[in-house]
Amino acid sequence: MSTDFQKIREIASASLMPDFFAVRIQEEGLFDQLLNLIAKIKLPTPLPALTRIQQLAAASSDPNAFVDSIKAQNLWPALRDILSKVQVK
């Protein structure tokens, strides 16, 4: 598992609030890696929440914009769940 993905996973797990997640991702300089990771996630069964998260990520210019759009669509629990469960090779 990549070091960046492990760090993103740890930040997501420790972040009870999406705003904290955005700040930590910004501080750690992991936004580009987060976008790359989200774009590459492929699930055996399509998940509408993941598709929407991928669309929002692609349209976001910074972590705060991404998290604001995630919060507006109530997708924070889905994002945390996906980041904690997805396996990276």
pLDDT of residue 89: 62
On the question of pLDDT at 1 being above 60, the answer is: no
pLDDT of residue 7: 94
Give the Cβ contact number of residue 4 at 10 Å. Answer: 17
Sketch the domain layout of the chain as residue ranges: 3-85
Query: Helix, strand or coil for residue 56?
Result: helix
Contacts 24+ apart (CB under 8 A), 14-19: 15/80, 18/67, 18/70, 18/71, 18/76, 18/79, 19/67
pLDDT 10s digits, 19-60: 999 999 999 999 999 999 999 998 888 899 999 999 999 999
